[in-house]
Amino acid sequence: MGSKRKKKEPTTNETVKVPEIYSENISKVIEDLKEPPQIALGLFSSVIINTLHALGVVKHVTIEFNPDDYEKPLHTLIVVSEQLENEWGKDKVNEFTKEFYNEAMKEFADIMSKPGGNVLDGEVLAVHLTALTLAGEYGFDAIIDLHFDPSTAGTDAYRAMWILAKK
């Protein structure tokens, strides 16, 4: 039976790794590609992942927030690279995914408990905060945050992707 990681607050003697955060508004890049935002986000993230691989960073998790995908909890798809899955094993991958969705749902409930909240704003913020938190708890070295300008038309303003990279 796999060991369960117990979530706890770090004591003064414990530290949670704080990953480097690289945040990129890709609205202008998307305009230049002349592709629909969803396709362009996929292309842009593929370039980043290929670059990471060329630099020898092959362990990563991608977390994509797609406001048009109603099949996934919080419109979010999580993909773990094969190399990280091999290191962690299926149990830890399942643990990460389950913990991610549980924590994001708690964040979402907390955000939406405040008056005047927009559901999509609440969902994307919950996913963002959870990605940042779990990246540190699971020892990732960097987070690459790809997002659109909030003034982008319609639901495309909410499209986002986080790439959590581990050396």
pTM equals 0.86
**Cα–Cα nearest to 42, from 30, 32, 59, 51:** 30
Give tens-digit pLDDT for 95-137. 999 999 999 999 999 999 999 888 999 999 999 999 999 999 9
Report residue 37 as tokens.
Answer: 């935002």
Residue 98 domain flag: yes
Cβ contacts of 157 within 8 Å, gap of 6 or more: 148, 149, 150, 151
Residue 124 domain flag: yes
Q: Which domain holds residue 136?
A: 20-166
Q: What is the CA radius of gyration of the chain?
A: 16
- Distance CA(97)–CA(119), nearest Å, equals 22
Q: How sure is the predictor about 30, in pLDDT bands with cuts at 50, 70 and 90?
A: confident
Residue 159 domain flag: yes
Residue 4 domain flag: no
Q: Structurally, how many domains does the chain consist of?
A: 1
Residue 11 domain flag: no
